[in-house]
Amino acid sequence: MDKLNHRERIEMIIAGEKPDRFAGSIWRHFFHMENNALGTAEAMIGFQKKFDWDFIKVNPRADYHVEDWGLKQKWSTNEFKKHEKLVFPITQLKDWEKINVLPYTAKALAEHLKVVSLIRKGIGKDVPILMTIFTPLAIAGRMVPDRKILIEHLREQPDLIHSVLNNIAETFSQYATELRNAGADGLFFATTQWASEDMLTWEEYEEFGVPYDLKVIEASCEGAINLFHVCASNTYLRKLAEIDYKCQLYNWDSDDPTNIPLDKSYDLLKGKTLVGGVDMNGWLLHGNPIEIKIQIDKIKANHDPCRVIIGPGCAVPPEIPMINLQALRDNL
């Protein structure tokens, strides 16, 4: 029997204290339920009640960030298929001039404040809730049909893109504060593909990413539990670790051979809690419950429960068998 509730366990681990057991969480999309606040909340609550994870990472519609700036999409009715993007706010350089600061009462933003509020009411106080916000650079990147367009524009007209990023950061700084008021404990702050040498040079991310990231995260208020998620391959995690991102938890795809393995990151991220260890596209997806137990036992044998929370390197594929997720949960 667990001696601690989920919040107590997470807070102990963040403090570097030994918990009663390893903590763990898995997160995924439910595309067919994401087209309204009630459906999104029901999906997150149902997933939590089934598996009883140690924290909830809210997986909203990925493009909720940009819908209020004009992105249009066709909702998916298939659990395993993403929504179809129809209209993008930015198709040419001058379109960036219309990206102004939005109020947190804008339609899609308000909808997702309601998502957080509904989850909190449905789950209670004992489980930390982290709401997803992308780096402003990634939010800008979702406004164009191809991310290469944004890269071209920031190199051609850096002052214009800085102005856009500042407006996005201001919007989501206000939003980060309101998320806490709605019941979130903090942010799951994701760089998506942008903090990677596959997208930008480090100097470019340092200029167009870092200052706007910090502005949003710092607005999440004192006492927030923030997770910094560095997505994709060939990440700049080593560089980012030198910056005070005001996040207690760090997460990346440590099973990607281009990234830093989990067991090599302890010194790099001193004083931080590491979230990872689960090969979501390998043994979690393709294995069976017996193999899942073997893999979780390996993680537990090789890592410190005071430093590591067992989790994936990103949202897991929705096709992962439920029996595999249950096996993971049963062996924490």
- Residue 26 covered by a domain: yes
Residue 317, pLDDT score: 98
* 30-35 contact pairs (CB < 8 A, 24+): 30/59, 30/79, 30/318, 31/76, 31/78, 31/79, 31/80, 31/81, 31/82, 31/83, 31/318, 32/76, 32/77, 32/78, 32/79, 34/60, 34/61, 34/75, 34/76, 34/83, 35/61, 35/75, 35/83
- Residue 169 covered by a domain: yes
Q: Is the pTM of this model over 0.95?
A: yes
Residue 62, pLDDT score: 94
Distance of alpha carbon 114 from alpha carbon 112, whole angstroms: 5
Residue 170 tokens, joined: 């201001």
Q: What is the CATH number of the domain that holds 198?
A: 3.20.20.210
By DSSP bridging, strand 84-87 and strand 72-74 are antiparallel
Residue 1, pLDDT score: 77
Domain span at residue 263 reads: 6-330
Residue 221, pLDDT score: 86
Residue 128, pLDDT score: 98
pLDDT digits (tens, 9 = 90+) for 157-185: 999 999 999 999 999 999 999 999 999 99
Work out how many domains the chain is built from and give that number.
1
Residue 226, pLDDT score: 98
In degrees, rounded to 5, the angle at the alpha carbon of residue 303 between the alpha carbons of residues 302 and 309 is 140
- Residue 317 covered by a domain: yes
Residue 19, pLDDT score: 98
Which portions of the chain are predicted below pLDDT 70? none
- Residue 1 covered by a domain: no
Residue 273, pLDDT score: 98
Q: Contact 297/257 with Cβ under 8 angstroms?
A: no
